[in-house]
């Protein structure tokens, strides 16, 4: 026997190739299993439930998402090689929880940016979808642990990190801001802590990913705490005028303040009947 | 001295004090002079007052703030009550602003009073300027006062901007950074001026203290001086008034300062104060604690200046992107900064110089104390509307990002639309306004000549329907016919018999201004119209009566023919009435 054997197509293959493939397969599935079981705490007892959840998620996926993302969730590439619909392999449960949990997915219409709308699925269905997408590539980011979401971090540090990393798009008070071509950074008031965290680790739409090396989970917790502080503590100066800054203040001064005073001047100068 | 004793007996302490003052500083003379000053009554004359009172409120609230504000940029660690900034590094200026907001009793209220009053001050001054412009109150002898008022408006902007930058928060720091960039964009001297202003590299450690000196001393002092000149000139010139019977260019019709206007104006001050207080107590302005201390690295979305600087920010945003820099004569020319600067300065120069330009075009050396109705000066009103539109587009340009996000539009398209609008909308505004003015003038003519539409429709015996027009009363009529009628002038040769280029320009501008015009109704036209109308008016009721009787009559045809001779008269009058507007 020669060292190399030709297969049906005539290509040569190393005898150890089969072994390598098997080893790789074992590592990926084993690692993935480990990751998946780490994400779901009572690992051994819940495995059956997990499989059921993934199966349920797959069913939901095929019914609601596959028309764009493809039957195997690999997205769609057009004739020019441009990715028209993104692949979901590797985006992780966190991305699904964010996109579906905020109502952005399933998308209603294509546009510069997928809009937030009424959530289309129950929490259980979202969890199923997330589990299915996670099962496609278990290395994807998972739904964050509740300990990062308690809003009890350092608000002062969070504020500073927010101004340095987030304010250029989301505005210093988190009121949102414009991006190019109709895209925008949304208002962060009223967004759930879990979704803020997931947005940071998955970088939805135009948002960059803030990996754990960039902002550690504890940094993310501080940022969330700061945003939650702003949300829970309205301005001590009175009604906030949407926190949009000097433009709204200027309009208010012209229309309400000056408008009111002009009406008063008219009243003062009116001839008595 | 015997009189002193008498008045004391009569008037008590008040009269005694008055007499004491009169004998020493001549209060009676001053009061006689100022107290009997006549001011005409119209709401639009009180807009300047709103600005004046806002300024007084600015002085009062600003003084309060100086007690607690520390204009230093020394780094400190904040340890006040505002949680999300505890332990943060910041300048003393920002820390003291936070202390004013959270720890000084009434501090936040006064900060908000000060800021709202500042916005209102410049807004009211701007509206007052528009009133003066559109009513022609800048004409001789008030051209210089227009320039003084213009200086006050610019000083208001300066006062506002220097104050905006004092808290040393992220928002105002971003604003200062833009100003720094603009200064540096000026060729040759820019970099030097910037380093002089900031004491080295931006942001340095001096700028807040320097702006503070400007904000609480130099600029308010200048405003006070110009304000004094402005008001003094109002006294010298006397106030203008709107047209009406008995109101001429050589008199003022109104009420005396004492006691009517002293009471009214005094009360109005408290109303303005009350409105500002109410707004400051209920609406947040400039929540500096949200922005954090200034740090040159972050730039927040939605960074905008206060509204009065907005048009300059808009000019910067609208500058075309491909014009960034150009190397010439050994310097880098940042046209994306220079162009907006040039546009801004030119706009201000045109505003300041307008009275002189118009005086030159009309060649009118008479004094004008009766105001124009905007419609009676169609071209000026249209030029004003174009200017307002130009300013408004620049102003909206400063909010392109907010327009884009809040109306779900593309930022790029909003920007492009604004760039196009900057050139198209003022032209459109010019023509639309001019046509509107001319139409309104035509309508006025018609009202004077043929009276108001009464809404009473009369059917004449031969079946024609006519509406009865009621003649307007003399008071209204006066207002409608009393305006100056300028005609375009031709270029005339000078003493040497040459027609200069300036004369040609003036002639073409005069044509531009007065070519399309509606002449005021003359006495002759009025008499002619009334002559026709008397018949029509008399005939109409007659016809009406006949028509009514005709209805009653069983055979409708017969009375109708009987009424015919009476009905003919208004019919004959009609063509004449129709002709009248065509004379224009």
| Dihedral sign computed on CA atoms, order B159, B163, B164, B168 | positive
CB contact B90 to A (< 8 Å): no
C-alpha distances in angstroms, B125 versus B265, B315, B335? 17, 22, 32
Q: Do A235 and B287 touch (CB under 8 A)?
A: yes
Distance from CA of B266 to the nearest CA of A (A): 12
Q: Do B301 and A170 touch (CB under 8 A)?
A: yes
**What is the pLDDT, as a whole number, of residue A39?**
54
Minimal-distance CA residue of chain A relative to B273: A261
Structural domain contains residue A118: no
The pLDDT of A24-35, averaged and rounded, is: 70
Matching residue, tokens 């940029």: B73
Distance from CA of A7 to the nearest CA of B (A): 57
Minimal-distance CA residue of chain B relative to A237: B284
Q: Do A156 and B46 touch (CB under 8 A)?
A: no
CATH number of the domain encompassing residue A182: 1.10.760.10
Dist CA B370 CA B251 (whole Å):
9
Dist CA B135 CA B571 (whole Å):
41
Dist CA A174 CA B301 (whole Å):
9
Structure tokens at A169: 């798009």
- Identify the DSSP state of B286: -
Q: Which of residues 35-54 of A touch B (CB under 8 A)?
A: none
Q: Which of residues 102-121 of A touch B (CB under 8 A)?
A: 112
Q: What residues of chain A lie within 8 A of the CB of B85, using their CB?
A: 156, 159
Structural domain contains residue A20: no
The pLDDT of A165-171, averaged and rounded, is: 90
Q: Do B302 and A177 touch (CB under 8 A)?
A: yes
Asked if B136 and B371 count as a contact pair (C-beta separation under 8 A), the reply is: yes
Dist CA A99 CA A114 (whole Å):
9
Q: Do A265 and B50 touch (CB under 8 A)?
A: yes
Distance from CA of B314 to the nearest CA of A (A): 12
Q: Do A159 and B84 touch (CB under 8 A)?
A: yes
Structural domain contains residue A135: no
CB contact B218 to A (< 8 Å): no
C-alpha distances in angstroms, A191 versus A161, A186, A195, A199? 18, 10, 7, 11
What pLDDT, in 10s, does the model give residues B232-289? 999 888 889 988 888 888 888 888 887 888 888 899 999 999 999 999 999 999 999 9
In this complex, which of A235, A256, A268 lies closest to B46 when CB atoms are compared? A268
Dist CA A36 CA A50 (whole Å):
9
Q: Do B50 and A261 touch (CB under 8 A)?
A: yes
| Dihedral sign computed on CA atoms, order B333, B336, B337, B338 | positive
Distance from CA of A266 to the nearest CA of B (A): 5
In this complex, which of A245, A260, A262 lies closest to B302 when CB atoms are compared? A245
Matching residue, tokens 């709308």: A117
Dihedral angle, C-alpha B126, B128, B130, B132, nearest 10 ° = -140
Minimal-distance CA residue of chain B relative to A180: B411
Q: Do A258 and B50 touch (CB under 8 A)?
A: yes
Whether this model's ipTM surpasses 0.90 comes out as: no
Of the candidates B53, B52, B241, B48, the one whose C-alpha atom is nearest the C-alpha of residue B129 is B48
Asked if A94 and A202 count as a contact pair (C-beta separation under 8 A), the reply is: yes
Structural domain contains residue A173: yes
Q: Which of residues 94-113 of B touch A (CB under 8 A)?
A: 101-102, 108, 112
**Which residues are CB-contacts of B284 (< 8 A; sequence separation ≥ 6)?**
A235, A237, A238, A239, A240, A241, B112
CB contact B394 to A (< 8 Å): no
Low-confidence ranges of chain B (pLDDT < 70): 1-10, 532-584
Q: What residues of chain A lie within 8 A of the CB of B276, using their CB?
A: 257
In this complex, which of A176, A245, A248 lies closest to B405 when CB atoms are compared? A176
Domains, in order of start, for chain B: 1-35 (no CATH), 47-301 (1.20.810.10), 434-488+498-582 (no CATH)
> Which residue blocks in chain A are alpha helix, DSSP H?
17-39, 43-64, 66-69, 92-101, 123-136, 155-165, 167-170, 193-202, 217-232, 246-252, 259-269
C-alpha distances in angstroms, B78 versus B85, B204, B487? 7, 20, 70
CB contact A175 to B (< 8 Å): yes
**What is the pLDDT, as a whole number, of residue A40?**
52
CB contact B263 to A (< 8 Å): no
Cα-trace Rg, chain B: 32
Tell me the β-bridge partners of B184: none
Of the candidates B375, B476, B385, the one whose C-alpha atom is nearest the C-alpha of residue B429 is B385
Q: Give how many domains chain A has, as a whole number.
A: 1
Q: What residues of chain B lie within 8 A of the CB of A156, using their CB?
A: 83-88
Dist CA A72 CA A58 (whole Å):
10
**What is the pLDDT, as a whole number, of residue B61?**
96
**What is the pLDDT, as a whole number, of residue B467?**
87
**Which residues are CB-contacts of B279 (< 8 A; sequence separation ≥ 6)?**
A252, A256, A257, B116
Q: Do A229 and B84 touch (CB under 8 A)?
A: yes
- Identify the DSSP state of B520: P
Asked if A44 and A83 count as a contact pair (C-beta separation under 8 A), the reply is: no
**What is the pLDDT, as a whole number, of residue A112?**
84
Is A91's pLDDT higher than 80?
A: yes
**Which residues are CB-contacts of B564 (< 8 A; sequence separation ≥ 6)?**
B461, B462
Q: Which of residues 223-252 of A touch B (CB under 8 A)?
A: 226, 229-230, 235-241, 243-252
Asked if A74 and A103 count as a contact pair (C-beta separation under 8 A), the reply is: no
Residue B76, φ and ψ in degrees, nearest 5: -135, 165
CB contact A81 to B (< 8 Å): no
Please state the separation of Cα B117 from the chain's center in Å: 17
Structural domain contains residue A163: yes
C-alpha distances in angstroms, B554 versus B127, B491, B559, B562? 66, 72, 10, 14
CB contact B398 to A (< 8 Å): yes
In this complex, which of B115, B305, B410 lies closest to A112 when CB atoms are compared? B410
Is A4's pLDDT higher than 60?
A: no
Structure tokens at A238: 């009175």
Dist CA A224 CA A165 (whole Å):
13
What pLDDT, in 10s, does the model give residues A44-73? 445 777 888 888 888 888 888 888 888 888
Distance from CA of B243 to the nearest CA of A (A): 16
| Dihedral sign computed on CA atoms, order B75, B77, B80, B86 | positive
- Structural domain including A217 reads 144-261
Minimal-distance CA residue of chain B relative to A170: B301
A162: helix, coil or strand? Answer: helix
Please state the separation of Cα B301 from the chain's center in Å: 31
Mutate to test the interface with B, among A117, A243, A247, A263 (most CBs of B within 10 A): A247
**Helix axis angle, B190-198 relative to B170-185, nearest 10°?**
150
Minimal-distance CA residue of chain B relative to A227: B84
**What is the pLDDT, as a whole number, of residue A33?**
64
Structural domain contains residue A187: yes
């Amino acid at each position: 026997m020669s060292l190399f054997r030709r297969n049906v197509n005539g290509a040569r293959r190393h005898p150890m190739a089969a072994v390598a493939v098997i080893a790789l397969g074992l590592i990926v599935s084993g690692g993935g299993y480990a990751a998946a079981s780490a994400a779901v705490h009572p690992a051994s007892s819940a495995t059956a439930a997990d499989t059921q959840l993934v199966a349920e998620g797959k069913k939901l996926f095929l019914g609601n998402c596959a028309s764009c993302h493809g039957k195997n969730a690999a997205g769609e590439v057009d004739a020019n090689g441009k990715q028209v619909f993104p692949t979901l392999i590797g985006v992780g449960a966190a991305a699904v929880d964010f996109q579906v949990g905020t109502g952005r997915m399933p998308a209603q219409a294509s546009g510069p940016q997928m809009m937030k709308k009424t959530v289309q699925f129950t929490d259980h269905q979202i969890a199923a979808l997330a589990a299915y997408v996670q099962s496609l590539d278990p290395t994807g980011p998972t739904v964050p642990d509740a300990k990062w979401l308690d809003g009890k971090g350092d608000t002062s540090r969070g504020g500073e990190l927010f101004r340095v990393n987030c304010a250029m798009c989301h505005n210093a008070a988190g009121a949102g801001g414009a991006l190019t071509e109709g895209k925008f950074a949304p208002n962060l008031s009223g967004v759930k802590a879990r979704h803020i965290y997931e947005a940071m680790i998955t970088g939805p739409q135009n948002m960059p990913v803030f990996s754990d090396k960039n902002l550690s989970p504890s940094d993310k917790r501080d940022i969330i705490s700061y945003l939650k502080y702003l949300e829970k503590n309205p301005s001590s100066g009175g009604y906030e005028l949407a926190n949009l800054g000097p433009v709204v203040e200027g309009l208010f001064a012209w229309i309400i303040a000056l408008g009111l005073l002009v009406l008063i001047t008219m009243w003062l100068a009116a001839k008595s009947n | 001295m015997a009189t002193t004793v008498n008045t004391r007996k009569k008037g008590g302490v008040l009269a005694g004090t008055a007499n004491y003052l009169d004998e020493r500083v001549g209060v009676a003379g001053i009061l006689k002079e100022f107290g009997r000053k006549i001011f005409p009554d119209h709401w639009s004359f009180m807009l300047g007052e709103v600005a004046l009172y806002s300024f007084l409120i600015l002085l009062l609230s600003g003084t309060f703030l100086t007690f607690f504000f520390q204009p230093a940029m020394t780094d400190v660690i904040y340890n006040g009550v505002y949680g999300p900034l505890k332990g943060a590094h910041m300048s003393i200026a920002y820390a003291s602003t936070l202390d004013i907001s959270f720890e000084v009793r009434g501090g936040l209220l006064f900060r908000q009073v000060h800021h709202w009053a500042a916005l209102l001050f410049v807004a009211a001054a701007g509206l007052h300027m528009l009133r003066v412009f559109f009513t022609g109150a800048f004409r001789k002898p008030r051209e210089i006062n227009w320039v003084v008022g213009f200086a006050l408006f610019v000083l208001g902007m300066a006062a506002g901007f220097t104050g905006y930058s004092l808290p040393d928060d992220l928002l105002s720091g971003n604003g200062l950074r833009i100003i720094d960039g603009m200064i540096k964009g000026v060729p040759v001297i820019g970099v030097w001026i910037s380093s002089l202003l900031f004491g080295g590299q931006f942001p340095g450690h001096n700028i807040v203290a320097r702006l503070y000196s400007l904000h609480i001393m130099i600029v308010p002092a200048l405003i006070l001086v110009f304000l004094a000149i402005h008001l003094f000139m109002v006294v010298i010139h006397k106030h203008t008034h709107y047209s009406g019977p008995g109101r001429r260019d050589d008199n003022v019709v109104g009420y005396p300062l004492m006691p009517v206007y002293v009471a009214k104006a005094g009360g109005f001050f408290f109303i303005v104060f009350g409105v500002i207080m109410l707004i400051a107590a209920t609406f947040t302005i400039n929540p500096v604690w949200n922005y954090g201390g200034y740090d040159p690295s972050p730039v927040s979305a939605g960074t905008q200046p206060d509204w009065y600087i907005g048009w300059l920010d808009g000019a910067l945003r609208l500058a075309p992107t491909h014009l960034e820099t150009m190397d010439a004569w050994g310097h880098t020319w940042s046209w994306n900064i220079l162009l907006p600067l040039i546009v801004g300065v030119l706009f201000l120069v045109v505003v300041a110089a307008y009275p002189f330009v118009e005086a030159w075009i009309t060649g009118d050396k008479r004094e004008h104390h009766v105001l124009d109705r905007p419609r009676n000066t169609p071209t000026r009103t249209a030029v004003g509307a174009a200017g307002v539109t130009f300013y408004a587009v620049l102003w909206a340009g400063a909010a392109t990002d907010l327009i884009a996000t809040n109306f779900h539009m593309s930022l790029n398209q909003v920007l492009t639309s604004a760039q196009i609008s900057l050139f198209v909308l003022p032209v459109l505004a010019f023509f639309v306004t001019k046509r509107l003015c001319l139409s309104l003038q035509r309508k006025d003519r018609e009202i004077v000549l043929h009276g108001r539409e009464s809404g009473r429709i009369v059917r004449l015996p031969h079946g024609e329907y006519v509406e009865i027009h009621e003649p307007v009363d003399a008071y209204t009529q006066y207002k409608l016919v009393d305006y100056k009628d300028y005609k375009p002038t031709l270029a005339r040769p000078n003493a040497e018999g040459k027609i200069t280029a300036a004369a040609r320009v003036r002639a073409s501008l005069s044509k531009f201004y007065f070519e399309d015009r509606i002449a005021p109704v003359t006495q002759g036209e009025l008499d002619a119209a009334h002559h026709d109308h008397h018949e029509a008016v008399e005939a109409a009721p007659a016809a009406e009566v006949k028509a009514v009787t005709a209805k009653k009559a069983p055979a409708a045809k017969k009375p109708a023919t009987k009424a015919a001779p009476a009905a003919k008269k208004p019919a004959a009058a009609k063509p004449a009435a129709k002709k009248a507007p065509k004379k224009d």
